[in-house]
C-alpha cells in the first residue's frame, strides 16, 4: 500500500504506539469531498479522530465522545482554506480577523438575521479554538501586526461565541445546543487537549501539519 504524502510519519506512529486504526489508501483530497466534514472513511479524518479520542478520552479522562467527535471533525474541516476562512462580509471579502467577525456577527451592526449571528458565532468558536489549540504561535504573530485582533482575547471570544450558539436551542438547533454549551464551559480544556494533539502531530512529523504551520507562522 502506498502511503499518502500527507500522512508521512503515520507508519512510524503505528509502529511506536501500536495504534490499530485502519487507514485505507484514498484518492487525493479535493474540495468536492467536503460536506460538513470529509468523508469519515478518509485517512486524514481517521487520523484526527484517533488522536482526539485518545487524547481526550484516555489521557485527559474527559469522557464526552460527542465533543471529541466535534473536535476531530473541526480539524478535518479546516484542512481546506475555504472552510477555515468561510465567513465573508457583505462585499464578499473573506474575514480573517476575529475582531471583524465579531462585528459581522452583531445583529445591530452587520448580521442581517439571527441565523446569520449564529452562523458567524459558531465559526468564531471554531476558529479561535483551532488556532489556540493547534497554532498559538500564529496568534502571537498577529498580535504584533496592525490588525483588529491585537485587541481580541481569543479564548474569551471563543467561549462567549459557543455560549451564544448554545442559546439557539429551538427547532433545528435544539439537539446540538447542549454540545455548544459544553464546548463553551470546557473551552480551556479543549485548547489544552488540542495542544496535546499538536505535540503528537509534530512527533509524527506529519506533513499536513508541517505545511500548514509554515503557512501560518512564517
Percent of the chain surpassing pLDDT 70: 70
Count Cβ atoms below 10 Å from residue 103 Cβ, excluding itself.
16
Share of the chain above pLDDT 90, in %: 50
Do 127 and 98 form a contact (C-beta atoms < 8 A)? Answer: yes
Task: Tell me how far apart the alpha carbons of residues 198 and 173 are, in angstroms, rounded to a whole number.
Answer: 31
Mean pLDDT, range 67-95, rounded to an integer: 91
CA distances from 182 to 17, 39, 190 (A): 30, 25, 10
Band (141; pLDDT cuts 50, 70, 90): low
Backbone angles phi, psi at 134, to 5 degrees: -105, -30
- Residues with Cβ < 8 Å from 136, sequence gap 6 or more? 195
pLDDT, tens digit (0-9, with 9 covering 90-100), for 86-127: 999 888 899 989 999 999 998 777 667 889 999 999 999 999
Strand, coil or helix: 26: coil
- Count of all residues that appear for the chain in the document: 218
Q: Which of 35-49, 109-123, 156-170 has the highest mean pLDDT?
A: 156-170
Please provide the average confidence, as pLDDT, over all residues in the chain.
Answer: 79
pLDDT at 212 over 80: no
Q: How many angstroms separate the Cα of 91 from the Cα of each of 105, 108, 110, 119, 130?
A: 15, 18, 11, 17, 26
Dig out the grid coordinates for 200 from the structure.
503528537
- In this prediction, residues 159-177 reach a mean pLDDT of 95
Amino acid at each position: 500500500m502506498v502511503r499518502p504524502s500527507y500522512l508521512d510519519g503515520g507508519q512510524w506512529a503505528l509502529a511506536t504506539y501500536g495504534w490499530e486504526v485502519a487507514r485505507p489508501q484514498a484518492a487525493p483530497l479535493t474540495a468536492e469531498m467536503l460536506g460538513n466534514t470529509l468523508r469519515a472513511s478518509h485517512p486524514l479524518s481517521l487520523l484526527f479522530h484517533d488522536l482526539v479520542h485518545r487524547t481526550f478520552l484516555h489521557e485527559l479522562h474527559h469522557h464526552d465522545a460527542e465533543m471529541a467527535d466535534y473536535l476531530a471533525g473541526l480539524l478535518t474541516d479546516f484542512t481546506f482554506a475555504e472552510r477555515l476562512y468561510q465567513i465573508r462580509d457583505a462585499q464578499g471579502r473573506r474575514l480573517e480577523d476575529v475582531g471583524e467577525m465579531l462585528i459581522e456577527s452583531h445583529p445591530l451592526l452587520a448580521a442581517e438575521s439571527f441565523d446569520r449571528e449564529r452562523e458567524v458565532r459558531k465559526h468564531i468558536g471554531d476558529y479561535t479554538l483551532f488556532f489556540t489549540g493547534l497554532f498559538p504561535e500564529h496568534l502571537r504573530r498577529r498580535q504584533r501586526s496592525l490588525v483588529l485582533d491585537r485587541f481580541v482575547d481569543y479564548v474569551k471570544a471563543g467561549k462567549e461565541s459557543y455560549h451564544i450558539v448554545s442559546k439557539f436551542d429551538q427547532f433545528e438547533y435544539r439537539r446540538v445546543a447542549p454540545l455548544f454549551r459544553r464546548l463553551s464551559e470546557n473551552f480551556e480544556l479543549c485548547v489544552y487537549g488540542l495542544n496535546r494533539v499538536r505535540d503528537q502531530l509534530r512527533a509524527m512529523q506529519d506533513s499536513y501539519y508541517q505545511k500548514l504551520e509554515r503557512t501560518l507562522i512564517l
